[in-house]
Structure 1
Amino acid sequence: MRILRSLAVVLCVALVSLSATQTFAADKPKPVKPQTRQTQVIRAEVYKKMDAAQKAFEAKDYNGALSTLDSIKAGYEKLNDYEKASLWNMYGATYYTKGDMRAAINAYINVLQQKDLPEGLKNAGLQTLGQLYFIIEEYDKAIAVVKKWMSVMTSPSPDSYVLLAQANYQKKNYAETERNLIEALTIAKTQGITPKENWLALLRAVYYEKKQYVKSAKVLEILVSLYPENGSYWQQLAGMNGLLEKQQEQMNILHGAYRAGLLKSEGDYLNLARLYMVYEIPYPAVRLLAKGMTAKIIKVNAETLQLYAQALVMAKEYDRQIPVLKKLSEMTGESKHFVYLAQAYFQLDKWPEAADALRSALKAKNVNKPAEIQVQLGNALYNAGKLEQAREVFEAAAKNPSTAESAKNWVKFVTTEIDRKKALAK
């Protein structure tokens, strides 16, 4: 035979991400269906109707459940206190499930007004009422009810302090929120309970709001150790270390998250690649960027191709750099990207290809310091054995004040080489 159970509501605090604004909201309470049988208290004729109401509730026929409860309420004066409390308790569960929070609140107020209320029903009623006030954002009432609930409990639970903390957080009472959460964590420790994610997430948010970033990072370290499967904690911890200018720690954390398969976004991939390069370990950056582009996590655009090319240069992967820079220069049409391509060819002693890239650079968009590009072109032509062409280019560069001295020296040197070769030919 089923027994009439009190409504129990579990309130959860929403998890946070490291951003400029932090918000929290209660997860919707999940009502536990009221008990339907306690024959020594609830009379048979009342039980029969309550049982029918509960069956309608379980079938999600909430209007049917309310209609049956209304029929019980019609004889309200004849009900004993426990029957009245049980009736209002079931009303509360049904109204909550229908989304009518005000009606649910009124129902639980009526539960608590009954005389000789069993402790279990009283405690559950106060807890639920406090949570419902929280949901409708009446935080002062929520705090008052939760405090009353805690006062009648022999030993307040960690959850009661967390509910109090959440309401105080919404009121921006961060110092009080911190005290509530520390109390919850202390009780949990004495009882051997692992701190819940939402408790620690809220504490992290409090420290962030108070600009106590070192403490916020410490809480994130605990979250990472207890809940390593949640990639957002790794990201937040990395970001916090970046905020604290601990870039090497930031890199190590992101590296660990990447190895664990927890990095999913383009931003995370690019941040980690840049950190590898800052600390002059380009090979992981090359692998990461290649993998990200292949998996389409990283978009192929001018910014990402340039970063990839830079990583390849640092890794001295000059051959692999060429196709990347070709694609980059074709994509943008920018003079500087053709210059980068020419410099890659220089590393491979591919002088004709370097000369072609530099000619393209002089014709491309946004040419910057063309005389310097001419000097590089002259160098490429000289090394390619095109001495007459090289001299013409150096002579053009010599007309620019910024490169006149070096270009004139090159003109003299190349002219000497041309004369020497002519002499040898005779």
Structure 2
Amino acid sequence: MRILRSIAAVLCVALATQTFAADKKPPPVKPPTKQTQVIRAEVYKKMDVAQKAFEAKDYNGAITALDSMKAGYEKLNDYEKATLWNMYGATFYTKGDTKSAINAYINVLQQKNLPDALRDGGLHTLAQLYFITEEYDKAISVVKKWMAVMTTPQADGYVLMAQAYYQKKNYKQTEVNLLQALQIARTQNIVPKENWLALLRAVFYEEKQYVKSAKVLEILISLYPENGSYWQQLAGMNGLLERQQEQMYILHGAYRAELLKNESDFLNLARLYMVQDIPYPAAQLIARGMKAKVIKINAETLQLYAQALVMAKEYERQIPVLTKLTELTGESKHFVYLAQAYFQIDKWPEAAEALRSALKAKNITKPAEIQVQLGNALYNSGKLEQARDVFAAAAKNPSTAESAKNWVKFVTTEIDRKKALAK
């Protein structure tokens, strides 16, 4: 409880940059002395019939029994009338007739000498019904009346007002009332409810107070760590705040706790690893995700996997990934990537073969540059005559003419040197 009080205190004090005036309730007024009334035996028997029908889910039977009582309405005392309408309200609401339920609770509250329990329950229920029917101003008005007669502050009342203000897009009053509810919860040693904190997070987000929103999410995670959506939201909030390292740590924690379930979360974490220059975990994560079929094997994911592997200098492991990528897409650039991977491990004939495929593949761009790379692969393979021919072809393109001509001269000299040595 000490920890929870600290958490609530963070919300009520540290998150607030200024003190707001919540809807103040006036001090409770001592009610006038009420005449004690009771439900008479003959009335109770009829109510019991209605109650048993209600418990048996025979709602029409319950209403019929209540209508029978209502026939002698003028003979009922105030307490009996209030109880009658209260039973009507519960039955209508359970049947789904919210409009009739509202009218019933209004009738409860109109009775004289109304017992506190029926008055308080009637006000609270009526406020909730107005909220359900989206009559938010009425809901707020009734909640204020309810809290004005309560001797003990009720956090639920402030939360209900906050929810109504939120629906009206009055985010400032939503915030004010939520903070008041959390303050009451702290003083009464009540654990803040999850939906209270979730609403406060949403309010701060709507107000573009992202630091505060992130703070609330941290508290939600500390109280409800099994809810993976809070980890994801906090990671996203840190992304908005351009705190990528913190974003990575949060998603990493969710991953270790096995709370990441969908492909986008896995790939987002992999990219964050790579941005933070720790590519090996990214490659491992993608591999595990593909094996578990969380990550689909397609051009985008294979290319990301290959990129992580090359950043991690895992060149051998990159080869089958890029081979699969070329098979899937048939695109020239992917054959070039495969050739460059072969370059890294000095497999020149394989690199040359990949580059020949790149020159025949679809969506080819900058063929002359590919020819220069092919000439390089052929030269390193010892195929000097073929290399010179490829460089000569590349020399015809203005973008690569200068470097290709230099290569032609260099390879020609090398060919002549070898011929001379052979003689």
Q: Please list, as runs of the form range in 1=range in 2, the aligned pairs for 1:191-230 lying within 5 A after superposition.
A: 191-230=188-227
Instruction: Say whether residues 1:184 and 2:159 are aligned partners.
Output: no
Which residue number in structure 2 is paired with residue 382 of structure 1?
A: 379
Deviations 1:371-410 (A, max 9, x none): 1100100111111121111111011011112111211121
Q: Please list, as runs of the form range in 1=range in 2, the aligned pairs for 1:258-297 lying within 5 A after superposition.
A: 258-297=255-294
Q: Displaced runs of 4+ in structure 1, greater than 3 A?
A: none
Query: Structure 2: how far apart are the matches of 1:216 and 1:293?
Result: 33
Deviations 1:206-248 (A, max 9, x none): 1111111111111111111111111111111111111011111
The match for 2:137 among 123, 140, 144 is: 140
Query: Structure 1: how far apart are the matches of 2:284 and 2:332?
Result: 28
Query: Structure 2: how far apart are the matches of 1:97 and 1:185?
Result: 31
Instruction: Say whether residues 1:365 and 2:362 are aligned partners.
Output: yes
Cα distance, 1:204 vs structure 2: 1.2
Q: Please list, as runs of the form range in 1=range in 2, the aligned pairs for 1:54-69 lying within 5 A after superposition.
A: 54-69=51-66
Structure 2: any 5+ residue segments left out of the alignment? 1-36
Query: Structure 1: how far apart are the matches of 2:91 and 2:384?
Result: 93
Instruction: Say whether residues 1:398 and 2:398 are aligned partners.
Output: no
Query: Structure 1: how far apart are the matches of 2:132 and 2:207?
Result: 25
Aligned with 1:229: secondary structure?
coil
Which residue number in structure 2 is paired with residue 97 of structure 1?
A: 94
**Amino acid in the other structure paired with 1:312:** L
Aligned with 1:336: secondary structure?
helix
Q: Please list, as runs of the form range in 1=range in 2, the aligned pairs for 1:319-334 lying within 5 A after superposition.
A: 319-334=316-331
Query: Structure 2: how far apart are the matches of 1:44 and 1:384?
Result: 107
Query: Structure 2: how far apart are the matches of 1:137 and 1:296?
Result: 44
Aligned with 1:373: secondary structure?
helix
Which residue number in structure 1 is paired with residue 118 of structure 2?
A: 121
Which residue number in structure 1 is paired with residue 172 of structure 2?
A: 175
Cα distance, 1:412 vs structure 2: 1.7
Q: Give the alignment's TM-score, normalised by structure 2.
A: 0.89
Query: Structure 1: how far apart are the matches of 2:309 and 2:52?
Result: 68
**Amino acid in the other structure paired with 2:119:** K
Q: Please list, as runs of the form range in 1=range in 2, the aligned pairs for 1:23-34 lying within 5 A after superposition.
A: none
Which residue number in structure 2 is paired with residue 33 of structure 1?
A: none
Instruction: Say whether residues 1:150 and 2:108 are aligned partners.
Output: no
Which residue number in structure 1 is paired with residue 11 of structure 2?
A: none
Q: Give the alignment's TM-score, normalised by structure 1.
A: 0.88
Aligned with 1:316: secondary structure?
coil
Query: Structure 2: how far apart are the matches of 1:295 and 1:265?
Result: 11
Cα distance, 1:420 vs structure 2: 2.4
Query: Structure 2: how far apart are the matches of 1:201 and 1:179?
Result: 15
Which residue number in structure 2 is paired with residue 32 of structure 1?
A: none
Query: Structure 2: how far apart are the matches of 1:51 and 1:344?
Result: 84
Cα distance, 1:310 vs structure 2: 0.3
Cα distance, 1:45 vs structure 2: 2.5
Query: Structure 1: how far apart are the matches of 2:292 and 2:121?
Result: 51
Aligned with 1:376: secondary structure?
helix
- RMSD across aligned positions (CA): 1.3
Cα distance, 1:419 vs structure 2: 2.1
The match for 1:344 among 341, 346, 349 is: 341
The match for 1:246 among 235, 243, 248 is: 243
Structure 1: any 5+ residue segments left out of the alignment? 1-39
Cα distance, 1:314 vs structure 2: 0.9
Query: Structure 2: how far apart are the matches of 1:341 and 1:64?
Result: 78
Q: Please list, as runs of the form range in 1=range in 2, the aligned pairs for 1:78-89 lying within 5 A after superposition.
A: 78-89=75-86
